[in-house]
Chains A and B, each alone.
Chain A
Amino acid sequence: DTGVSQDPRHKITKRGQNVTFRCDPISEHNRLYWYRQTLGQGPEFLTYFQNEAQLEKSRLLSDRFSAERPKGSFSTLEIQRTEQGDSAMYLCASSPEGGNIQYFGAGTRLSVL
């Protein structure tokens, strides 16, 4: 059990560029979540996968955001045409079937210049 892994840990990009983040959940965890956290705030839910199915998307997830989990294992979160307001920590979490505990990865810190 190596924990939830996120890559990259830090990303600096210019406004208007596209970025993609990867999350590898804990092995055999079929539930995967993306959250976003800005300074001084708690994490905010973005989207949730059960296996490969994306079951819920927050209204925070504008049409510039897309998430996938094609084989029910790792997931990617893409942000197109980044804006300065997208600067945040993007956190991935996973939990097992039948379990309520979500385990968080180290996060990807995005800075949009």
Chain B
Amino acid sequence: QKEVEQNSGPLSVPEGAIASLNCTYSDRGSQSFFWYRQYSGKSPELIMFIYSNGDKEDGRFTAQLNKASQYVSLLIRDSQPSDSATYLCAVMDSGGSNYKLTFGKGTLLTVNP
């Protein structure tokens, strides 16, 4: 059973701070990793994807991948109240050709004004 683990939170940070969200995965062969943001009652929205070890930056968001440790993280700089949402870590299946995603349970982030 391939698993993706996230701290469910809630993670609470003040406005302007850095929010750090973490994720570990069990399938060592996984190659593609995604962070989705989900507002309450809404569908997941892609924030970042990362395929290679290291950091990938996009605006206020930085994804970090360490395949040796099977660890993915998302940093949100200058957090805004509008960033308050559940952040889902997803890992693409490494076997076969179905491209399915295995999601963690999500981390609820609250940014306090």
One of B13-21, B43-51, B69-77 contacting the partner? B43-51
B105 touches A40 (CB 8 A): yes
Given the known inter-chain contacts A42-B106, A105-B43, A107-B43, please indicate yes or no for A100 contacting B49, CB distance below 8 A: yes
Given the known inter-chain contacts A40-B105, A42-B105, A105-B43, please indicate yes or no for A100 contacting B100, CB distance below 8 A: no
B43 touches A104 (CB 8 A): yes
Q: For A106, what are the chain B residues with a Cβ–Cβ distance below 8 Å?
A: 42-43
B100 touches A56 (CB 8 A): yes
Given the known inter-chain contacts A55-B97, A56-B98, A107-B43, please indicate yes or no for A43 contacting B49, CB distance below 8 A: no
Number of A-B contacts (CB under 8 A): 56
A41 touches B105 (CB 8 A): yes
A101 to B47, CA, bound (A): 11
Contact size range, A: 20 to 34
Contact size range, B: 20 to 34
- Against A, the Cβ 8 Å flags (1 = close, 0 = not) of B56-99 are 00000000000000000000000000000000101010001111
Contact residues, B10-54 vs A (CB, 8 A): 32, 34, 36, 42-46, 49
Nearest B residue to A91, CB-CB: B43
A45 contacts the other chain (Cβ, under 8 Å)? yes
- Against B, the Cβ 8 Å flags (1 = close, 0 = not) of A22-66 are 000000000101010000111111001000000110000000000
CB distance from A8 to the nearest CB of B (A): 14
Give the contacting residue for B101; candidates A43, A56, A89, A107; CB below 8 A. Answer: A43
A-B contact pairs, 10 of them (CB 8 A): A43-B103, A44-B103, A45-B101, A56-B96, A56-B98, A56-B100, A89-B43, A101-B49, A106-B42, A107-B43
Residues on B lying within 8 angstroms of A by beta carbon are 4, 8, 32, 34, 36, 42-46, 49, 88, 90, 92, 96-106
Residues on A lying within 8 angstroms of B by beta carbon are 31, 33, 35, 40-45, 48, 55-56, 89, 91, 95, 100-107
